[in-house]
Amino acid sequence: MALTDCILIFCVAIFTSSLSEFISYVLVYRKEKYQKLNAAMEKAAKKLAEMEKGSKRYEKEEAKVKDMSRELQSTKLGSMFAMMLVFGTIVSTVSSIYEGESVAQLPFEPIWFFKSFAQRGLVNPKPNDCSFIFIYIMSTMSVRQPIQKFLGFAPSRAASKLSNAGMQPASFTDAKNTYGSGAY
């Protein structure tokens, strides 16, 4: 339970994130299909941002962008499978080193949901103890996106906003009967 353990775990997180981006580059980002699809997605996202919402043309363009987003995700599938294998191997190897051992003490007692996550694999943990996997996952989450931005692989804000729009429920276009409109 030392600072060196936490620094080592952080370095492992940086290494695995960099390795996953390298795998993504080799299997996805350098391919011509991905580059064309990404450029078309960026262009469509800009075009969609300039249109007015609610028009038929806007809905057609939005459907086209969602289809491109779906196709873009399918091109990343092989890379995601390879990364899953790499992450699983590295995490299981490093996890065996810290098995049952508290790596750090948190300055607070986590709420019940995070407590079970933060203390996963610990034997008789104290309320503030923290396991390897918690530090590793938090480090990976904090490091991965900056690495993607640094390497230039992160999607633009407009494209990511549009690709996430497919995951959200359909919105109401008729504002007359929505809550707060005054039409009760």
Q: With a cut of 70, say whether residue 183 has pLDDT above it.
A: no
Count of domains in the chain?
1
**Amino acid 153: pLDDT:** 79
Q: With a cut of 80, say whether residue 167 has pLDDT above it.
A: no
**Amino acid 48: pLDDT:** 80
Residue 31 lies in a domain: yes
Mean pLDDT score of the chain: 81
Residue 169 lies in a domain: no
- What mean pLDDT comes out for the span 91-119? 86
**Amino acid 139: pLDDT:** 93
Residue 14 lies in a domain: yes
Residue 30 lies in a domain: yes
CB atoms within 10 A of CB 96: 9
Task: Tell me how far apart the alpha carbons of residues 178 and 184 are, in angstroms, rounded to a whole number.
Answer: 9
Task: Tell me how far apart the alpha carbons of residues 166 and 151 are, in angstroms, rounded to a whole number.
Answer: 26
Q: What pLDDT band is residue 13 in, cutting at 50, 70 and 90?
A: very high
**Amino acid 180: pLDDT:** 53
- What mean pLDDT comes out for the span 24-37? 90
Residue 175 lies in a domain: no
CA distances from 60 to 26, 42, 54, 63 (A): 34, 16, 10, 5
Residue 76 lies in a domain: yes
pLDDT > 90 fraction of the chain, expressed in percent and rounded: 17
SS3 category, 130: strand
Segment 49-83, tens digit of pLDDT:
887 787 888 888 888 888 888 888 888 888 889 88
Task: Tell me how far apart the alpha carbons of residues 43 and 110 are, in angstroms, rounded to a whole number.
Answer: 44
Residue 122 lies in a domain: yes
Q: Which domain holds residue 94?
A: 3-164
**Amino acid 64: pLDDT:** 85
Residue 28 lies in a domain: yes
